[in-house]
Structure 1
Amino acid sequence: MMKSIVLIGMPGCGKSTIGEMIAEKIAMTFIDVDVYIRESTKRTIIELFENGEDAFRDIEAKATEELSEKNPAVIATGGGVIKRYENIINLKKTGIIIYINRPIENIVADIDVVARPLLAKDPSQLYKLLEERCDLYRKYCDHEVMNTGSIDDIVNNIIEIHTRIKNDILKEE
């Protein structure tokens, strides 16, 4: 059975860019959870956060549950998806979870904080988010990939991991 590739990691670690490239290279559908949420609610992430983070996380949990039931895809999650264990359970049902670990200095150097509700008022919040989430990313992922080399190398590394797992599943069947 083909598994989805689920990308987790800090805001600005490259999940969407890397996910799109992987999907194109292996001919899978690409789904960005934040875009999926915007399209299904007809509201921006910033607007959804106006009702509080918990309200947004409820919507995100519903979206991850729906996406876990779809055909295999490359899924780029929001950075906080790991804050609710139910999201991880749903995403692991049909997916391989890859933690894209990018050094915080690299994220800070080029992240667009305007579109990110938890960072818009105070970009230094990124360090607090990393401290709060880093252990969860590592705990919940099936594989960790460092985003320090070329983007092509990272994409190829994730594709190799996916292919190896797919081949192991086929051997078991």
Structure 2
Amino acid sequence: MKNKIVIIGMPGSGKTTLGKMLAEELNIKFFDMDEYIVEKTGKTTIQLFENGEEFFRDIESETCKELAGYSNVLISTGGGVIKRKANIDTLNKEGLIIFIDRPVDNILGDVDVSFRPLLKDGKEKLLKLYDERYALYNEYAEEIVKNDSDIRVVIDKIKEVIDNNENVSINN
């Protein structure tokens, strides 16, 4: 039985915004994986990436293991968590993985790339990441929710997906 919700998706897809609101409505604890890593290490993601992407991914993998130990939580992952299948396997054991699929044009329209280490080279990098990752998000997701309308509509779609999934039991 799945006892947590795990949100995956591109940087700027709405994982954190939707996750916070949804966790509040479900009355469960919310974890933003990137924020958790910053709190744990005392360094920003940009500072951690200065040691190389693999260094950051190692910390991210450890964080997946830590957060997977919680029940009745909603976890918003970093956009690159899907780069290591082991992360998805860990989170999927007791977590329902939902891909927030936001059109890349919408992301490009409002993402501030200056705060995102992998996007600091500009919006072209986002397009490249989208091309590299989109298939993985689809492959690893148990459910896919389009984020192409009002935030309230998207949250209601996610809640419907959770409610209709007989393998999920969230005790709020």
Superposition TM-score tier, normalisation by shorter sequence: over 0.9
Q: Which runs of 5 or more structure 2 residues have no equivalent in the other structure?
A: none
TM alignment of 1:19-98, pairs within 5 A: 19-98=19-98
> What is aligned with 1:122?
122
1:3 and 1:144 map into 2 onto residues whose CA distance is 18
The structural deviation recorded for 1:122 is 2.3
> What is aligned with 1:105?
105
> What is aligned with 1:146?
146
1:20 and 1:31 map into 2 onto residues whose CA distance is 8
The structural deviation recorded for 1:168 is 5.0
Q: Which runs of 5 or more structure 1 residues have no equivalent in the other structure?
A: none
- Amino acid of the structure 2 residue aligned with 1:111: V
2:10 pairs with 1:10: yes
The structural deviation recorded for 1:55 is 0.5
2:143 and 2:2 map into 1 onto residues whose CA distance is 17
2:24 and 2:2 map into 1 onto residues whose CA distance is 16
The structural deviation recorded for 1:149 is 1.3
Q: Is the 8 A contact 1:8 1:15 kept in 2?
A: yes
- Amino acid of the structure 2 residue aligned with 1:22: L
The structural deviation recorded for 1:154 is 0.8
Q: Is the 8 A contact 1:98 1:141 kept in 2?
A: yes
Which of structure 1's runs of 4+ aligned residues deviate more than 3 A?
A: 167-170
TM-score (norm 2): 0.94
SS for the counterpart of 1:114 is: helix
The structural deviation recorded for 1:2 is 5.3
2:144 pairs with 1:164: no
SS for the counterpart of 1:10 is: coil
* 1:4 to 1:105, Cα distance in 2 relative to 1, 3 A: same
CA offsets, 1:122-141, max 9 Å, x none? Answer: 22100100000000000000
Q: Is the 8 A contact 2:162 2:168 kept in 1?
A: no
The structural deviation recorded for 1:13 is 0.4
* 1:27 to 1:2, Cα distance in 2 relative to 1, 3 A: farther
CA offsets, 1:119-165, max 9 Å, x none? Answer: 11222100100000000000000011110111111111111111222
Between the two proteins, what is the percent identity of the paired residues?
Answer: 46
Moved more, 147-156 or 8-17: 147-156
Size of the aligned set, in residue pairs, is 169
TM-score (norm 1): 0.94
> What is aligned with 1:155?
155
SS for the counterpart of 2:164 is: helix
Q: Is the 8 A contact 1:28 1:72 kept in 2?
A: yes
- Amino acid of the structure 2 residue aligned with 1:132: E
- Amino acid of the structure 2 residue aligned with 1:154: V
